[in-house]
């Protein structure tokens, strides 16, 4: 049975047009070794925690749009935003955090901190106002590791910087979303 997963395409208007944040996975990873991917990963049980506050949309509205149950929609979107923070250092909350949140990002990544506890302590709500469902992909039955992955898209908020924060990536950066393969422009994941 495929495990649930969520991936998020972080986009922005760059100097040459639309760009998206991409990461090259470390060679030797058990799944998608060396692949260029969006931030994302498997859904954790804690991602469905109803104590995690949301701002800008409701789990019910997203569930209706996706055609799935509310708890599943909550878990998928929360996982996508958690993975975006863990892997690209981009935390979408309201209010926005003041100061350095790197220690908390590391603690979340190593599962030494629960997202729901930290958000509640700081009175943060996940800002889901800009999240848009995009696609769904289930790995083929021939794959030894199977995932049922939901893809989302969100625009990069102003005043926030993405960075390569994950130990799962050997490189990361902005890449032109409409760049042709024949383009001589260098991408972050070349």
Domains and CATH numbers, the chain: 3-176 (3.90.79.10)
Q: At what angle do helices 70-88 and 102-109 cross, to 10 degrees?
A: 120
Rounded Cα distance between 99 and 101, Å, is: 6
Q: What is the rounded average pLDDT of the residues 136-165?
A: 89
Section 35-47 average pLDDT: 86
Q: Tell me the torsion sign for CA atoms 173, 178, 181, 182.
A: negative
The owner of tokens 């495990």 is 3
Q: How many residues does the chain have?
A: 190
pLDDT at 129: 95
The predicted model scores a pTM of 0.86
Percentage of the chain exceeding pLDDT 90: 61
- Please tell me the least confidently modeled range out of 53-67, 93-107, 173-187: 173-187
Instruction: Please state, in angstroms and rounded to a whole number, the distance separating the CA atoms of residues 157 and 108.
Output: 22
Residue 189 and residue 175: Cα distance in Å, rounded?
8
Q: pLDDT tens digits, residue range 112-130?
A: 999 999 999 999 999 999 9
| Backbone torsion region of residue 3, taken as left when φ is above 0, otherwise alpha when ψ lies between -120 and 50, otherwise beta | beta
């Amino acid at each position: 049975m495929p495990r649930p997963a969520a991936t998020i395409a972080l986009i922005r208007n760059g100097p040459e047009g639309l760009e998206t944040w991409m990461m090259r996975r470390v060679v030797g990873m058990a799944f998608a070794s060396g692949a260029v991917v969006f931030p994302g990963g498997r859904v954790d049980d804690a991602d469905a925690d109803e104590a995690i506050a949301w701002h800008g949309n409701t789990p019910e509205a997203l569930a209706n749009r996706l055609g799935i149950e509310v708890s599943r929609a909550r878990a998928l979107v929360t996982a996508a935003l958690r993975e975006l923070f863990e892997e690209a250092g981009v935390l979408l909350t309201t209010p926005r955090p003041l100061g350095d949140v790197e220690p908390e990002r590391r603690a979340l990544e190593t599962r030494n901190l629960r997202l729901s506890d930290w958000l509640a302590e700081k009175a943060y709500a996940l800002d889901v106002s800009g999240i848009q469902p995009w696609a769904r992909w289930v790995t083929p039955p021939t794959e030894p590791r199977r995932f049922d992955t939901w893809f989302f898209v969100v625009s990069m908020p102003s005043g926030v910087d993405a960075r390569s924060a994950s130990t799962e990536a050997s490189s990361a950066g902005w890449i032109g979303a409409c760049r042709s393969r024949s383009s001589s422009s260098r991408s972050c994941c070349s």
